[in-house]
Chain A
Amino acid sequence: MITVTIDGKNQPTTYPKIKTVLQLLNNLHLRVNDALIIRDGELLTPDRHLWPGDHVTVRMVVSRG
C-alpha cells in the first residue's frame, strides 16, 4: 500500500496495487512532465519502483494563474 498526497489537496489517497511511478502517473491520468513525483525529498523518474509503506507527493507543475 502506498500513500499519495496531491499538492493542494488535504486528503491523501492510498493505492494498494501500484508498483512504479509510471503506474501512478497513468492512474492519475498524468503525462510524464505534468507533475513532480517526490519521495523523501527526492524526485523520481517514471521507471522508479514504489514500495509498500512509501509516501509520495505529487506536485502539479502547471502554474495556477
Chain B
Amino acid sequence: MPHLATYVALVDHSERTLAESLRAVADGHARQADVFHTCHTLAGWSERHREDLAPVVERYGEQDDVDEPERLRADALTSTREGEIGLLRDLQDLHLLATLVHSTWTVIAQGAQGLRDRQLLEIATSSTAETTRQLTWLTTRIKQAAPQALIVAP
C-alpha cells in the first residue's frame, strides 16, 4: 500500500500547510476582526484533523519519498498581502489549499473503504465534513469582500 501511505502523508502535510496559512492570514489581517477569529478557529480544526490522523500515520508509516504526488504539495502562505484586494487574494489562496485538502481526504476515504479500515474511514469522513465547512466560509467571505475590493478599494 505504498500509495495510500503517500496520501496519508500528503493529507497530513496539506492540513499542516492549511493550518499555518490560516494562522498567517488571521494575523496578517487582524484588523478584520472576523477574519482574525474565524481563521484561527478553522486552523484549529485542521490541527485537530492531524491529531486524529496521527495513529494512522504511525500504522502506515509516513512515506515521504514517493515521487508523484510531490507535485501536489503546496507551500504555506508565510506572508500576507495588504488591504482589501490583498485580503481577497489571500482568501483565494486559502481556498486553493483547502480544496487540495478536501480532494486528498476524498482519495483517502476511497482507499479506506477498499481496505475496510474503519478508523481511517471515520477520520476521513469527519475531516472532509469540516473541510467543506472551511471552504464554505471562504467562499462566503470571498463573495463579501470581492465587490468592494475590485471596484472601490483605494
The answer on A and B forming one complex is no
Listed in ascending order, the chain B residues whose CB lies under 8 Å from chain A are none
